[in-house]
Each structure stands twice: as structure tokens, then as C-alpha cells.
Structure 1
Amino acid sequence: MQVQFTESDIRAKAVELGLIQDGDELPRHQRSKVVAVLLHEAANASPKKTEREPQLAKEIVIQPGGAILVNGEPFPWLIAKQPMEIGLNPDGISTVRLTLLAEAVQIIKPEPRPESE
């Protein structure tokens, strides 16, 4: 993960941390501390950024040789060379069922709900 911060990002974080007043220059010896805080925040924020609401694909194109495009973009994961199940529904939403390859699979058991819910 490559992260870059502008001078204004660094200066704003230094003001937020109380290291300098707004408009002051950040001393060089404190710059690495501020960048470390920004990196820590970026690392902790990354999972939240990737958690998006599921979207309905506008178009899925399956090409000869197995290449698959979703909304014009190549599907980013490896797909097993097994038959796909394709359901075409001209009056509504169509479906494509395929098998993804993974080095590891983890299934997390949901926590039991209290009976009062």
C-alpha cells in the first residue's frame, strides 16, 4: 500500500496534534512523528474504505477463453475452469454462477443472538 501525504495534510495533522499553531512551519525533527500518525490512521482506515455496499452489475460479458468483464472491467479474481450456470431473464435481473479460486477459505460462525431479539 503506497500512501502519499501533501504538505498541507502534514501541516494540518501537526496543528490537530497541537505540535504547531495554524500558519506555523513544522520543525523537521517533528515531521516524521506526524507522518507516522498519518500512516497509522491510513492503515486503520483502509478496511473501512474497502467495505462498500454491494452493487448490481450493469453488464457481464463472458468472452471466449474464459475472460470475464464486469461493467467493462476485467474480473479481478481467478475463476475455476468449471461450467458456469447462467440464467438469462429478459424481463428482469439475470444471473451468473461461477467458481472462484482461493488459496485459503475462512468461514466465520456468526455470534449467537440473545433470545430477546
Structure 2
Amino acid sequence: MSKPIHVSDTEFQEKVLNSATLVVVDFWAPWCGPCRMVAPILDELAKEYDGKIVIAKVNTDENPQWAMKYGVQGIPTMLFVKGGQLVDRMVGAAPKPFIQQRVDAMLEAVKN
């Protein structure tokens, strides 16, 4: 995917938990200013890491189920999921180099 995918509660199992690829799940809402700051960064990372990661966006206003299940209390929250397992989480907005560093670290940590 060269761009983030939007995932609903009903699609989460299939598109996130069943993915063999590292998935960065962005829990966000349209009214969230920091979420809007992170969105273009994730768009860029989706292109730059095409084939290595999937970026999945979950609108918590419309799809609260998985946010509650993973204990998301503030947004933006990014979960790093591989093979159905939560491997890391990042809460709050951050600059691109910081997010990119976390993605690189997660890719290294989950190498098969």
C-alpha cells in the first residue's frame, strides 16, 4: 500500500490482526488537532515504506471497539502490530524523524 488504509471495527481483524506485515495503526478523530498534524507524516511514511509496513487509520468516533480493547485513552495513538500481536505503542503527535525511528526500530525488532 502506498497510502494509509482506513479500517473499521469490522475490518480490524482481517486488515490488522491477520496481516503478515508490520501494521502501524493510527487511532485518530477528525476534531483532533494533533491527529491532523500526524496524518501527512503517515501518508509520507506509507509511500516511503511501501511493501514493508501497512498504515491503518481507525477513526475512533466511528469505530471505538478496538480503541477500547487496546486501552487507547488519548489520540493520536499509534499501535505497532505484527502477526496479530501488539509489539509497541506510541501516544501523542511527534515529528517525522521520531516516528520514522520508531518504525525502523519495530521493523528491526520483528524481523523473521
Greater C-alpha radius of gyration: 1
TM-score (norm 2): 0.23
Bigger relative contact order, structure 1 or 2 (CA pairs below 8 A, ≥6 apart): 2
TM-score (norm 1): 0.22
More helix by share: 2
